[in-house]
Amino acid sequence: MKNFDVIIIGAGSIGVPAALSLAENKIKVLVIDALASPGQGQNKKAIGGIRATHSDKGKISTCQKSIDIFSTWKHIHGDDIGWIQNGYSFPAYTDKDAHKLKKLMKIQKSFNLDINWLTPEEYLKIVPGINTKGLRGSTYSPEDGSASPLLAINAFYFKSIEYGAQYKFKEKVHAISIINNQEIKVKTNKGEYSAQKVINAAGNYARNTGKLIGLDFPVQPDSHEGAITEPVQRFFGPMIVDLRPSQDPETEDSANFYFYQNNEGQVIFCLTPKHLIKGTASEATSVFLPQVAKRMVDLFPKLANLKVRRTWRGQYPMTPDGFPIVGETKEFPNFINAIGMCGQGYMLGPGLGELLSRIVTCDLTEDDLDALKHFDLYRDFSSTEQFK
């Protein structure tokens, strides 16, 4: 049986950057994944947006670190991961939304985030052609950005291998036995491995992993569909998040939707259903395109001529309150969770990777402890994230 310092279950948005940070710190790490290569679960379904402009200390500081890593990756390591600092915007079409967004901006500013309120005229300059009917204005956070999930995870993966991380693909974890606080055994369909610590980064399957040690983690995946278009010359700047739930009876079953133009010039978009579709089914439905197209064309008429190339369906591994679960478990301090990313695993990943590395090496700072409070498994889950 091979021994490691840390075994990570899941080579996805969290597992791979965590392995990168651990291996960089000379920790002997093994990543196990049931699929054939890194990022084949929900990571590749991510649309690529990366923002620090959240509403809580935990996600804000983690994503600030992530932005640091994404934005400097090419400069430091040489590979292009498609990073562009195109910013995020949340346009408001009702007074209520404008009020809500402005209120949140105050909190965000208190964390030194660069976020401003644009008048409709100012917004039209960065999104020429946007529907201005009823537009009250928009938030704009120019330091947020986007990168290719596909390129980023592979860049992190190969770099982690350079640092000594090991990977086992097409291996399914069947059993985890925690012998004492020093040793955990992980049994897969192909072999058995032991480590001092295990990180549960199993995304959609985080709950199943918990069950292997008799714990129940409140993570439930629900479906979202996304799509990508042909590439065209850049025609707008930031990610656009339309917070409004649909009012139209035909598209009523949709909450917010969002889209941006990536480094290739392709527009990527995604829609949140109003009534959650639970489970891990990943085949496309006929509902998505007509639903999202109507709303996108209404918001940004120019998009009508843009050709849709591909669509897909993925999951948000949701927690009851919309915040992740990160940290040690009380029952087994050497079993660490990094789960329930609620659709933000990609942007949280690199920052969380470093945080997880500090959890493993017991080097947590005051700030870390502060951030981790928001991700505590033992918190009260009854409040909800208001600004997803």
Partner 1 sequence: MTKNRINAHPILDVSKKKRVSFYWNKSKLIAKKDEMISSALFANNIKIFGHHHKDGSAQGIFCANGQCAKCSVIANGVPVKACMTGIKENMIVKSVEGLPKLPDGDKNPKVSSIEHISTDVLIIGGGPAGLSACIQLEDHQINAIMVDDKDELGGKLVLQTHKFFGSQEDSHAGMRGMDIGRMLAQKVEEASHIDVWKNSTALYVFDDKKVGILKHGVYKIVTPKVILNAAGAREKFLTFKGNSLSGVYGAGAFQTLVNRDLVKPTEKLFIIGGGNVGIIAGYHALQAGIKVVGLCEALPKCGGYKVHEDKLKRLGVPIYTSHSIVCANGKESVSSVTIAQIDKNFQIIEGTHKSFECDTILIAVGLESVSEFTDEAKSAGIKVFAAGDASEIAEASSAMFNGKITGLKVVQYFKPDAKQIPDTWYKKAAILKSHPGPVQEIEALSQEEGIFPVIHCKQEIPCNPCSTVCQEGSIQMIGDPIKGRPKFDGKCKGCMKCLAICPGLAITLVDYRKDKDTPIVFLPYEISNIEVKKGDKISLVNIDGNPLGTYPVLGARATKDSNQTQIVRVKVPKDIAKKVVAFTIQREKTSQKLTHKIPLDHIQDDEVVCLCERVTAGEIRKLVKKGITDINQIKAISRAGMGPCGQKTCGNLLGQIFRAEKIAREDITNNVRRPLFVEVPLGKFANGGK
Check binding of 284 to partner 1 (CB under 8 A). yes
Work out which of 76, 106, 216, 283 binds partner 1, going by CB under 8 A: 283
Work out which of 298, 328, 368, 385 binds partner 1, going by CB under 8 A: 298
- Considering only 214-222, 290-298, 315-323, 329-337, which stretch makes contact with partner 1 by CB under 8 A? 290-298
Work out which of 25, 40, 85, 280 binds partner 1, going by CB under 8 A: 40
Check binding of 277 to partner 1 (CB under 8 A). no
Check binding of 32 to partner 1 (CB under 8 A). no
Measured between alpha carbons, how far is 97 from 42 in angstroms, rounded to an integer? 30
- Considering only 37-45, 65-73, 135-143, 328-336, which stretch makes contact with partner 1 by CB under 8 A? 37-45
Contacts of 91 (CB under 8 A, 6+ apart): 123, 127, 130, 135, 137, 138, 240, 241, 242
Check binding of 164 to partner 1 (CB under 8 A). no
Counting beta carbons within 10 angstroms of the beta carbon of residue 149, is it exposed (0 to 12), middle (13 to 18) or buried (19 or more)?
buried
Report which of 125, 361, 339 is spatially closest to residue 235, judged by C-alpha positions: 125
Check binding of 169 to partner 1 (CB under 8 A). yes
The interface mask with partner 1, positions 132-161, x = CB under 8 A, is: ------------------xx-xx-------
Backbone angles phi and psi of 255, in degrees to 5? -95, -120
| Chain-centre distance for alpha carbon 179 | 33
Check binding of 77 to partner 1 (CB under 8 A). no
**Strand-pair category, 137-141 with 266-273:** unpaired
Check binding of 276 to partner 1 (CB under 8 A). no
Work out which of 124, 213, 215, 232 binds partner 1, going by CB under 8 A: 232
- For partner 1, the closer of residues 84 and 326 by Cβ is 84
- For partner 1, the closer of residues 288 and 375 by Cβ is 288
Do residues 63 and 50 lie in contact, with contact meaning Cβ atoms separated by under 8 Å? yes
Check binding of 36 to partner 1 (CB under 8 A). yes
Residue 211: Cβ within 10 Å count: 13
Check binding of 231 to partner 1 (CB under 8 A). yes
Count of residues that interact with partner 1, criterion CB under 8 A? 48
Least separation, in Å, of the C-beta of 35 and partner 1?
Answer: 8
**C-alpha dist (Å) from residue 278 to 134, 220, 224, 274:** 34, 7, 10, 12
- Considering only 102-110, 281-289, 335-343, 364-372, which stretch makes contact with partner 1 by CB under 8 A? 281-289
Residue 386: Cβ within 10 Å count: 11
Check binding of 172 to partner 1 (CB under 8 A). no
- Considering only 92-100, 231-239, 331-339, 343-351, which stretch makes contact with partner 1 by CB under 8 A? 231-239
Counting beta carbons within 10 angstroms of the beta carbon of residue 275, is it exposed (0 to 12), middle (13 to 18) or buried (19 or more)?
exposed
- Considering only 61-69, 100-108, 197-205, 291-299, which stretch makes contact with partner 1 by CB under 8 A? 291-299
Measured between alpha carbons, how far is 86 from 55 in angstroms, rounded to an integer? 20
Report which of 354, 348, 268, 353 is spatially closest to residue 316, judged by C-alpha positions: 348
Work out which of 304, 363, 376, 384 binds partner 1, going by CB under 8 A: 304
The DSSP secondary structure of 34-57, one letter per residue, reads SSSSTTTTTGGG---EE----SSH
- Considering only 64-72, 178-186, 200-208, 282-290, which stretch makes contact with partner 1 by CB under 8 A? 282-290
Sheet holding 266-273, edge to edge: 116-118, 137-141, 88-92, 239-242, 254-261, 266-273, 220-231
Report which of 150, 163, 164, 161 is spatially closest to residue 80, judged by C-alpha positions: 150
- For partner 1, the closer of residues 153 and 202 by Cβ is 153
Check binding of 106 to partner 1 (CB under 8 A). no
Check binding of 311 to partner 1 (CB under 8 A). yes
Report which of 199, 268, 234, 299 is spatially closest to residue 50, judged by C-alpha positions: 268
Do residues 47 and 26 lie in contact, with contact meaning Cβ atoms separated by under 8 Å? no
Work out which of 124, 213, 308, 364 binds partner 1, going by CB under 8 A: 308
Least separation, in Å, of the C-beta of 132 and partner 1?
Answer: 11
Tell me if residue 279 falls in helix, strand or coil. coil
Binding site for partner 1 (CB under 8 A): 35-40, 44, 129, 150-151, 153-154, 169-170, 229-233, 235, 250, 265, 281, 283-287, 289-290, 292-294, 296-298, 301-312
